[in-house]
Structures are given as C-alpha cells and as structure tokens.
Structure 1
C-alpha cells in the first residue's frame, strides 16, 4: 500500500494550479502562508506546519463541510476560529484539488 503524504498531495495542487495565470506560490509572511497559493495578493490555500490543508471558502460552505465531518474551522494559533477557512486533515478523503479550485474561484471574485 502506498502512503500519500500531505506534502505530496499539496505538491500536486501546486503543480496543477501554478499554471493558472493569476496564481503564484508564496509571498506570504514568513511561516504563515510562506508556501501558500495566492491569487492577486490573497491566499486561497496552503499547507500548515501541522500538515493540514487549509482553504478559504464562503463561511456557509465551511459550515457545511464541518457539519459533514470533512474538515474543521481553521485556527491559526491564537485561539480564534476563522469562519471562512477550512482545515482538512492529511488523511481526509476529500479531493484537495477540487477544494483548491473552489477556493481559487471564491478568492478570485
């Protein structure tokens, strides 16, 4: 059985979306968002140091995915949950590329 790591899953997303003309990698603050994908100057997805895949989505969509057990609201470390950010565990069966595309569309509006 082949084990897929969060880093390898994220690398596939970076590879797939970096060809998009409005997407760039990095540019965030050192640490938070350092390897994030951005459109314009706005982060739409990233991999955290805890190997969580994090995407920015409408708060209603985040609530829907949390309710279905497909993720949780993202806490960047200061104890305040971010309503428009979904954290997905490395072992999630969610399609990360689909979520990243959804986040790109949301942030790119």
Structure 2
C-alpha cells in the first residue's frame, strides 16, 4: 500500500482558501511575502509559505501554540519574529481551515476597534 505524502500548505491552502472565499465573498486573495494569502478589510490574516501555513492570531495564542509545539515563530528575517504571526508546519486541509477561520475572526475583531 503506497504511503500518503505529508500534507503541506501548498496543497492544503488553496482548498481551504476557496472554502473561506465562498463563505466570505468580501474577502480577497493577495500576496504576502511573495506567497498566496487571504485578507479581509484590507488586512491579511493568513498565507501559505513553503510547506507551512502562517496566520495572524493574538500574541497570547501565538505563544500558546509555540509552547505547545503546534507552531513556530514566523521569522522571515532571522532573529526578527513577526508579532502576532505564527507558522503552522505541514498542515492538512482541515488544519488550514481551522486556523484560517480563527485568524479571520481575530483580524475582523481588530478592524472593529
């Protein structure tokens, strides 16, 4: 029986993004750090980077995910992590969708402040 390749954001992100765009037609696709991403109200809430998903979440949630081993700091420049962004390695489609929904809710709340 052939083994399934490990999930990556490159395969999981497009399907999750399509579902979110169908649910929220006001959201838009765009590029963040040269990668495909999603934004609402002009603010990005997630993007695919290599084999990982990167999402914007509250700083406390980012710290929780990193401490629990589910995420890693998002550091496009070594030693300079992006505040309120976390990298989720090798997500499957369900994981992408779950974190993108969480990130969208966070960013939407920021827009209302």
Deviating beyond 3 angstroms after TM superposition, the runs of 4 or more aligned structure 1 residues are none
**Aligned equivalents of 1:33 and 1:58: distance in 2?**
23
**Aligned equivalents of 2:68 and 2:79: distance in 1?**
23
When the two chains are superposed, the root-mean-square deviation of aligned CA atoms in Å is 2.0
Per the TM alignment, residue 5 of structure 1 is displaced from its structure 2 partner at its CA by 3.4
Query: Which structure would you say has the larger RCO, counting Cα contacts within 8 Å and 6 or more residues apart?
Result: 2
**Aligned equivalents of 1:13 and 1:91: distance in 2?**
11
- Describe the SS at the equivalent of 1:47: strand
Task: Please state if 1:66 is matched with 2:70.
Answer: no
TM-score, scaled relative to structure 1: 0.83
- Per-residue Cα deviation, 1:45-65 (whole angstroms, up to 9, x for no partner): 0011x3221000000000011
In the alignment of these two chains, the number of paired residues is 104
TM-score, scaled relative to structure 2: 0.81
Q: Could you tell which deviates more after superposition, 55-64 or 15-24?
A: 15-24
**Which of residues 8, 20, 23 in structure 1 aligns to 2:27?**
23
Structure whose CA Rg is larger: 2
Per the TM alignment, residue 34 of structure 1 is displaced from its structure 2 partner at its CA by 4.6
**Aligned equivalents of 1:17 and 1:33: distance in 2?**
21
Equivalent position of 1:54 in the other structure: 54
Q: Which runs of 5+ in 2 are unaligned?
A: none
**Aligned equivalents of 1:34 and 1:89: distance in 2?**
15
